[in-house]
Amino acid sequence: MTKVESGAELGDARGLVKLDQVELDLQGMTCASCAARIEKKLNKLPGASATVNFATEKASVTFDPAVVSTEDMLAAVTAIGYGAELVKEEPEEEAAAGTARSHDHASELLQRLVFSAMLAVPVLLLSMIPQLEFRNWQWLAFTLATPVVFWGGLPFHKAAWASLKHFSFSMDTLISMGALAAYGWSIYALFFTKAGDQGFRMSFSFTGATSRMHPDIYLETASVVVAVILFGRYLEAKGKRRSGSAISDLASGGSVAVTVLGVDGHETLRVSRDLKVGDRFLVRAGEKVGTDGVVESGEANVDFSLLTGESLPRRVLPGDEIVGGAVNLDGRLVVRATRVGSETAMAQLAKIVADAQAKKAEVQHLVDRISSVFVPVVIALSIGTALVRFFTGDSVQAAFTAAVAVLIIACPCAMGLATPMALLVGTGRAAQLGILIRGPEVLESARRIDTVVLDKTGTVTTGRMSVVRAIPLGDTTEAELTAMAAAAEAGSRHPLAAAIMVRADELEVDVPEAKSVLAVAGQGVSAIVDQVPVVVGKLAYCQDNGLVAPGDLTRESAGTQAPVSLVYAGWGGEVRGVFEIADQIRPDSRGAINALKHLGAEVILLTGDSRQAAELVGRELAVDRVIAEVTPEGKGQVVDELLAQGKRVAMVGDGINDAAALAKATLGISVGGGTDVAKEASDLTVFGGGVAGVVDAVRIARRTLGTIRGNLFWAFAYNTAAIPLAALGLVNPVVAGTAMAFSSVFVVGNSVRLFGFRRAHID
């Protein structure tokens, strides 16, 4: 299947043009210049706009299907010597295919590396240690170096030739030219000079200088450079493979065997990808949930860490939503499928993260432009170095050595990898922690934030009503009060009723069965429990049903000033107790807000709740400002006002009423899973952890941006310093090849360090 998405529209003289989008898997890229060549070729197609990412080895193309076809795109890539195929639509299949390709590429490089190293090391030792030399040893070196140059270096030569056939250059052009030039010069020296007859020792010095009167042979340069660069490419391939593993895990996390329940209760074993919306399936203890759905029956503690990054399991009850890939730790659940295949939360998360990785930060566009012209400039510098040094009095050997060193040391692979590798690892690690970063521009936004605006309900609070305190009256016990109230409320879906039911579960009381249940919307419920009439609800409702309240049961007399709801319960003609129920503050909210302040942000609590309730929460959390009684439109206006004051605002929310503010803010962050509208309006989505998750989101975004900047600094600084040193003859070709390879390894290694990112410690 092809992965083609419709929906984009572009206005032109003919009206609106409907555009499609397609992703291509690319093969044969070895450096950033390859990516630049493919991107340039695709962008030359009429009606197409392409972005190629070297790290992910994918091209994202927006195109007018009336003007250009996917076959045209594949043909264009093939025509310049690379491979391409359409990305499969199923995320599991694409993840598996990508993992297999990465593994095969790394394995091939490892084979060439081991073979080349085994032959290149003896050549190097013979060159460095005169005591190892024997009569005609140079012919042994020639025999060992030849397969290294031609078989070990075959990927570089093939890529260079493919480029030259189309009158272009790549990083491999420099490597191939350098190795073949050193090898060709050695052939000349061996067969046409005294070096071949007299066994002159090959020079190996860190300056590359030589005082010999006869041409030296450079077999050690040709063979060792190939081996060292193969080593760098192998480590690079391993780093890229590991970097993509987080998304592969997400994409394939839900692929499991599922027990499907028929209408008659008959059980059938089926693969999760074959499930259909509406199917009912069984999830036993220890099993993965096959796809997104709603719990129809059963209770269990469920591990959502694959999607949310939460370390603690969550209790799910009938009516709760559950996601594919979550693990049932105990209990037995019957789930009705609501989303399957590419529509599941896991698949959507993998897709969005992959899309973010395929995008480019603004600085990467500059790097791509530099890389596309860098190679021909370096070739010109190499030829110029040889000519200048020769005509200013240097020997042919010294001029040649410097020219080869310039070719080899200049390869700007590190520049091409600097941004995409860090973005690949950073977004992948964030996804493992339940943090969704939508694109590279988000990193820059996160760096500049100086004001964080927090919604209250569901963000700094749990978003679920719970019993803060139960106050039994007279000789009634808390267990008795809770059991009778829970019996009457058992059939209600009201949040206050649910809080009382959870309290009964916490106390492990036996809840009797209720009969003749009568609910009055907004007032309360009455029922017969153990042949006793029970009334639960507002005080006035209890009194209207004949219950007498002992004293003035106001909020003050109940003993609280907090913003709670009071639910009264009674039987036998008297009110027997009162429940204080509230949406409680998350345990880690205060510590997280302190952490946001340490990150340099002013913290504002923004809510539609009453001023009294908001100020009580604000004081508890020690926020800088409280803005209360605000409408959903008003939230967007508050963000506008802050932006007008020059603030760089992060808005954190979880509901539809936050969507406008999320979209307007410098950085929109939706938390707790949130609503679909809130997630679409946001730049960052935190699937678990509340405000603590927001702290981690800002930290990893800033860390990723810092890694990109560090990579770019190293890459540019390396080339700026290394090329003049090589041109001056201060670095010999072997050392140049080693330095060039390890500049790329440094960038990959520095990026992979992001996998070590850990959650902030919140007190």
User: Is the distance from CB of 291 to CB of 333 less than 8 angstroms?
Assistant: no
φ/ψ bin of 169: left (φ > 0), alpha (ψ from -120 to 50), beta (otherwise): beta
Count how many residues are written for the chain.
Answer: 763
Alpha carbon distance 691, 595 (integer Å)? 10
One-character DSSP codes across 604-649: EEE-SS-HHHHHHHHHHHT-SEEE-S--HHHHHHHHHHHHHTT--E
Q: Calculate ∠ Cα 97-45-413, nearest 5°.
A: 55
Rg for the chain (alpha carbons), in Å? 34
- Tell me which H or E stretch contains 424: helix 413-432
Alpha carbon distance 252, 3 (integer Å)? 17
Half-sphere exposure of residue 586: CA atoms within 13 angstroms, side-chain side? 25
Alpha carbon distance 565, 568 (integer Å)? 10
| Largest CA-CA distance found in the chain, in angstroms, rounded | 120
**Annotated active-site residue in 64, 455, 583, 609:** 455
Alpha carbon distance 526, 520 (integer Å)? 9
Nearest of 401, 488, 445 to residue 650 by alpha carbon: 445
* Beta bridge pairs of residue 669: 652, 684
The torsion angle over the Cα atoms of residues 64, 68, 70 and 74, rounded to 10 degrees, is -140
> Rounded to the nearest 5°, which phi and psi values hold at 114?
-60, -45
User: Is the distance from CB of 650 to CB of 601 less than 8 angstroms?
Assistant: yes
Alpha carbon distance 188, 217 (integer Å)? 8
Residue owning tokens 């339940």: 434
Alpha carbon distance 494, 522 (integer Å)? 10
Alpha carbon distance 310, 688 (integer Å)? 6
First to last CA, the chain: 49
Alpha carbon distance 623, 668 (integer Å)? 19
Residue 16 vs residues 22, 46, 61, 64: alpha-carbon distances, Å:
20, 17, 19, 11
User: Is the distance from CB of 307 to CB of 365 less than 8 angstroms?
Assistant: no
3-class secondary-structure state, position 302: strand
- Tell me which H or E stretch contains 217: none
Alpha carbon distance 573, 716 (integer Å)? 84
264 is catalytic: no
Catalytic positions, written as ranges: 455
